[in-house]
Amino acid sequence: MAKRSVAGVGDIAPDFALDDTEGNEVCLGSYRQQQPVVLVFNRGFT
């Protein structure tokens, strides 16, 4: 089983890309030098 690491407050997130609501790819790295970024991962809606 792979070891899981936990990010702490102030840690640099790994670069990744996801599609926005219009289907355009957005890369986290493109925002790093421009403005603060807040990442939120919702587990689901109940």
Domain residue ranges in the chain: 19-46
Please give the pLDDT value at position 46.
63
Please give the pLDDT value at position 8.
82
28-40 pLDDT per residue, tens: 888 877 878 877 7
Please give the pLDDT value at position 12.
81
- The Cα 35–Cα 23 span in angstroms is 22
Q: Are 28 and 38 in contact (CB under 8 A)?
A: no
- The Cα 28–Cα 16 span in angstroms is 6
The parts of the chain modelled with pLDDT lower than 70 are 1-2, 4, 45-46
CA Rg value for the chain: 13
Please state whether the predicted TM-score (pTM) of the whole model is above 0.75: no
Look up residue 31 and give its two tokens.
């925002």
